[in-house]
Structure 1
Amino acid sequence: MVPKDTQAFVEHEQKLGIDTTHHRAADADHGTIAYLALPALVSWLDAKGV
């Protein structure tokens, strides 16, 4: 998704009351985003006790 579409999606979900966090990964592409997102995912899972 292009950044403006992503931002619009995040804002829409937040307006619905959905707890949404958005992290921009400027250098990511479709093949690298999962790897770049791992540190934030692990921190989130730890915070949730998972």
Structure 2
Amino acid sequence: MLVAAVFAVQMAVDGVALKGAVDTWVNAAEADRQAAFVAAEAVRWTEKG
């Protein structure tokens, strides 16, 4: 049961939060791209953690 819950949270982070962060990075103005990339990378590391 615990494994299923952890897996569900990981999929939610991967499917929703990471997609949103990457979309923001792709569409960011040039001046904001570095910050948006760092935010997307933080979401990715959160997912893996």
TM-score (norm 1): 0.34
- Looking at secondary structure, tell me which structure has more helix per residue: 2
TM-score (norm 2): 0.34
